[in-house]
Amino acid sequence: MEILHVSAECYPVAKAGGLGDVVGALPKYQQDAGHQAKVVMPMYRTKFLYNNDFDVVHKGYTNIGDYFFDYTIIKEKTNKLGFGLYLVDVNGLLDREKIYGYDDDVQRFTAFQVCVVDWIASWQFKPDVVHVHDYHAGLIPFMLQYCYRYNQLASIPTVLTIHNAQYQGWMTWEQSTLLPPYDEWKRGMLEWGNSINPLASAIKCASKVTTVSNSYLDELKYMSNGLEALFEYEKGKCVGILNGIDTQVWNPETDTYIKHDYSLATVEEGKAKNKAQLCETFGLDVNKPLFVFIGRLVGEKAADLLPNVIGDSFYYIGRRMNFLILGSGEPEVEARLNGMMPLSQNDYSCYIGYNEGLSHLMYAGADFLLMPSRVEPCGLNQMYSMRYGTVPLVRNTGGLRDTVKDIGEENGYGIVFNNASVGDVCNAVWRACDLYSDKSLFTKARAQMMQLDFSWETSVQQYLALYQSLR
């Protein structure tokens, strides 16, 4: 089967969050299962672009509205990622250093999608399925079916995977001219809430819709940023498939980002060495339990709670623990976290920014991971942490609910709380400190977590079965 993934992100080419991790791993495991998987994404100006060799495989000419332009499709020569990687170059639109955050993002991602569809139209043999990820590729199912220029592609099955339904890519109707000419009788397939909504359009037009966990699919029916009724209406074609993690990249026995590798048999010694390195780097007390937060400092991750959680934990529980924060996001949250640095008594530090190597070291050296997310469609961080023997403290939502079992339950191994509130998170920190003091229970939980299977193999078979059902 030939599978074409269309995405704005793909690790290690360009990544802003979990979307990049998934698109960098899922095709690799589909390829390993004997299928031909490809990824096409915009050609950003990244280190990966300059450090690798590419062949030009297609040149085309198309337009968005009255702007006509040349585009080029280039392919990474060696398939070093384990699958075919294709980049779309549109001079002046896609060749930027950042993935998102430009005033013309609507034009950029519309141009990207038009180029992808135009390129597919040139193929001698069409792909068996086009798998689009999030709203950045959400207009493609509509274009394949209803744009006159691409009528010959209407029979290609499409799958949409929703990694985060909060972001929907809204466009005004004035921007409808950016699309290739389409059947005006079908404009309702673009519309939601009196505007063009690429994510809603993909939900309506795709052959199948998947979310990245079963619990998240349930939550979308009552919490999806305005799409609740649509998810209820289209529930018959929606499926929850839990993400996996790339166990080749995230493996404490072979991780090239950490100096002190370890296995289940050597976890105590290995984590102690990595923790000592972290504490030395950030001026923390190695004898106290180390709590870390890794991720975007935004509202849906409940990062705004962190300053008060840390302050209240120190005040009410006592300075019995360390906190280390890695991430970037809302300037106000960044400023508050930075502003707490002078108050540290060798028990708090933060790194504002993105650092892949440091994140690996934190998973390897931390005792606990904080994930108080308000919204967490799947969550990969809790899976990474458990793979590295770091106990996750998670809110009972989305994929966190599907992957973490509370230590208070039979065969439990994590700490689960119900509300994204300072009080609930502080209570979880207090429970974690107690767990840390109970060495036998802590060691048992750590060993249990490290033996859990969050690999991609099971998820890949579910995706392949889904594709087969469309043929």
Digit-coded pLDDT (tens) for 260-303: 999 999 999 999 999 999 999 999 999 999 999 999 999 999 99
Domain contains 253 = no
Domain contains 20 = yes
370/392 Cα distance (integer angstroms)? 6
Q: Is residue 373 over pLDDT 90? A: yes
Q: What is the CATH number of the domain that holds 184?
A: 3.40.50.2000
pTM of the model: 0.90
Co-location of 122 and 178 in the same domain: yes
Co-location of 86 and 176 in the same domain: yes
In this predicted structure, what is the pLDDT of residue 85? 98
pLDDT above 90: percentage of residues in the chain: 98
- Tokens coding 140: 């493609």
- Tokens coding 417: 């709380």
Residues at the binding site for ADP-alpha-D-glucose are: 15
In this predicted structure, what is the pLDDT of residue 17? 83
Domain contains 252 = no
The strand pair at 67-76 and 54-64 is best described as antiparallel
Domain contains 255 = no
Biggest distance spanned by C-alpha atoms of the chain: 68
* Total domains, the chain: 2
Domain contains 309 = yes
Structural domain including 68 reads 2-244+456-468
Co-location of 461 and 420 in the same domain: no
Co-location of 119 and 202 in the same domain: yes
Co-location of 292 and 223 in the same domain: no
Domain contains 57 = yes
Residues at the binding site are: 15
Q: Is residue 18 over pLDDT 90? A: no
Co-location of 120 and 207 in the same domain: yes
- Tokens coding 449: 């977590």
Co-location of 320 and 414 in the same domain: yes
Q: What are phi and psi of 172, to 5 degrees?
A: -85, 160
Co-location of 460 and 443 in the same domain: no
Co-location of 31 and 168 in the same domain: yes
Co-location of 176 and 314 in the same domain: no
Co-location of 349 and 322 in the same domain: yes
Over residues 100-109, mean pLDDT: 96
Domain contains 78 = yes
pLDDT band at 471 (very low <50, low <70, confident <90, very high): confident
Domain contains 352 = yes
Over residues 347-358, mean pLDDT: 96
